[in-house]
A and B are shown apart, each in its own frame.
Chain A
Amino acid sequence: MSVVVARGLTKRFGEFEAVRGVDVEVRERECFGFLGPNGAGKTTTMRMISCTSPPTDGELSVLGLPSSRGRDIRRRMGVVPQENNLDEEVSVVENLLIYARYFDIPRRVAAPAAEELLRFVALQDKRDWRIDRLSGGMKRRLLIARALINEPELLILDEPTTGLDPQARHLVWEKLRSLKREGVTLVLTTHYMDEAAQLCDRLVIMHEGRILIEGPPRELVARETSPQVIEVFEPDEDAARGLRDLADLAERVERLADRWLFYTADGDALLAKVRGVVPDPGSVWLRGATLEDVFLQLTGRGLLE
């Protein structure tokens, strides 16, 4: 069964079209990602899927119900918002208990569930802390715990790791992976390519309200771009002239503000030639292609502005 089905999903704010006819289908127990730069329409799409914002046009069903049945859908779903909206006046554990009430979960069920969830997100030692004492990473984890209080079948996470330090990110990733193992369907947005590649079974790349491409991350990279990339950092005039002559040897060349990218199937051969033009070894390197290269190819500009 498909957990989310959207056809021609559209959202307009006045004249402005933030989401322009999105088609997606999220399957049960998978982790599905929306990758895209700021302003792509990810949050707007998440808000429609989480039934807090009615679509302007198109078809949308979530958990087998039409999106107009918001109450019934939201009861079975968890949402981790992009912006922290914890109750600042009360403690960590009370945040979970207050939220549990919204789902009509009786106290005798909610109290042990809250303790277990705090253990799950490694906040059991902070259970009596006020929210303003928590770090950004702890707040994120608490938001995740709160979204799980109703044992949701579908968990929606809007930029779950934006602004977190590397350790905190990895902790969040680990929790998301274990939720997936437990059978929760995950839908997340991110503008980190590595996050999408690490977590998502399938993803879409979104740009200016549209879906550019869809598929499993590795497949997308293999399908849409050459496997290897040579980056040349800030070549001078002479080097640039030499590089232009090499352009024909690459499958594709991108020029960014601060570097040139050569896409090729045979990185070693081309690398030798590039080194001949740019002798400084520190400004030339060879790497495997990533999702960012796919995005660059599709839009002609970087994913992170």
Chain B
Amino acid sequence: MSASTTTVTRAPRTPLVRIPDVRLRSAWRLWQRNAAIYRKTYRVNILPNFFEPFFYLLAMGIGLGAFLEREVLGFEYIDYIAPGLAATAAMYGTSFEVTFNCFVKMQFGKVYDAAMATPLTIEDVGLGELLWGTTRALIYGQVFVLIAAGFGVVHTPLVIFTPIAIALIGMMFSVIGLTFTAIIPLIDYFTYYWTLFITPMFLFSGIFFPVSGLPGWAQVLAWFMPLHHSVNLMRALTLTGDVGGAILAAAWIVGITALLFVFPLNLLRRRLVK
């Protein structure tokens, strides 16, 4: 017996930067759980999340667009805002999931505790949530693109790359949102996430007007907004066909995702493995 026992010294606090104990197959199991439950509830879930960006498309694109000269932006107004709203749909698609839903699962439903009593680790759970958030972003973002295409807003064959782009955007916002969820002590703190992060990005990321019209400092600020690059990417892939711009925006998104990727997983371990 003694050969297989081991002496454990005091477990140090989980470092923030560390290779997470994660296996893709186990993470996939958590994804499957979420998908199974989503199939039960999507009828009530999908509609509100989905309609919000869509109302903006109709109100602003058609309503406001009727008063805007085509020359203002060089595009029809509805064509101009549709790609940004697609990026927004993707952002919302995951953000509700990895903030409120994950917090409720973690804190009240004890879903993660249940999963951690199986071969899954907390990092598997975290990665599963990231993949699920990405999946939701893909559903909401891509369905938006398809419907918006019916309004004639797609003007480049690069549109075939939108699923990849939306997945990248979805993973980025999943990582950011889950990091926030792993840190906050109370569900009320999500108000800050939405009113100080999501909403300002929605307004100032260049969805409704070009960022170039803003003062210099605001343009700098916009450059640090994840949604700004998501809007640029989607606009390149549906409207302008600007390959170089698309690559730049995608690189920014991939870079920030890679930079932040381990944080939610390690923060979840720090929080839940006590």
Contacts and interface: CB of A to CB of B under 8 A. Distances in A.
The reply to whether chain A is a binding partner of chain B is yes
Interface of A: 1-2, 5, 7, 12-13, 50, 52-61, 64-68, 70-72, 74-75, 79, 81, 83-90, 94, 97-99, 101-104, 150
Nearest to A52: B116
B8 A54 contact: yes
Contacts of A71: 119, 121
Contacts of A13: 274
A53 B274 contact: yes
A88 B41 CA distance: 12
B37 interface: yes
Contact of B273 (A53, A56, A79): A53
Nearest to A68: B6
Contacts of B25: 104
Interface residues of B, number: 33
A85 B114 contact: yes
B273 A89 contact: no
B8 A67 contact: yes
Interface in B19-56: 25-26, 29-30, 32-33, 36-37, 40-41
B59 to A, nearest CB: 34
B273 A50 contact: no
21 contacts: A13-B274, A54-B11, A54-B273, A56-B10, A58-B7, A58-B8, A59-B5, A59-B6, A60-B5, A61-B6, A68-B8, A74-B119, A79-B117, A87-B37, A87-B114, A90-B36, A98-B36, A99-B114, A102-B29, A102-B119, A103-B118
A107 to B, nearest CB: 11
B145 interface: no
Given A60-B5, A85-B111, A87-B111, A101 B10 contact: no
Interface string B237-250: 00000000000000
Contacts of B8: 54-60, 67-68
Given A53-B273, A74-B119, A79-B117, A61 B33 contact: no
Contacts of A85: 109-111, 113-114
B4 A57 contact: no
A83 B110 contact: yes
Contacts of B109: 85, 87-88
A64 B5 CA distance: 8
A160 B57 CA distance: 55
Contacts of A87: 33, 37, 109, 111, 114
B195 interface: no
Contacts of A57: 8-10
Ranked 10 nearest A-B pairs via Cβ: A85-B110, A66-B6, A102-B118, A79-B117, A85-B114, A61-B5, A54-B11, A59-B5, A75-B119, A71-B119
B273 A52 contact: yes
Contacts of B41: 89
Nearest to B25: A104
A101 B34 CA distance: 12
A57 B37 CA distance: 40
Contacts of B40: 89-90
B268 to A, nearest CB: 13
Contact of B115 (A2, A84, A102): A102
B259 interface: no
B1 interface: yes
A2 B273 contact: no
B273 A102 contact: no
A97 to B, nearest CB: 8
B87 interface: no
Interface in B85-114: 109-111, 113-114
B114 to A, nearest CB: 4
Contacts of A70: 121
B120 interface: yes
A1 B3 CA distance: 13
B120 A102 contact: yes
Contacts of B116: 52
A12 to B, nearest CB: 7
Interface string B115-142: 1111111000000000000000000000
Contacts of B6: 59-61, 66-68
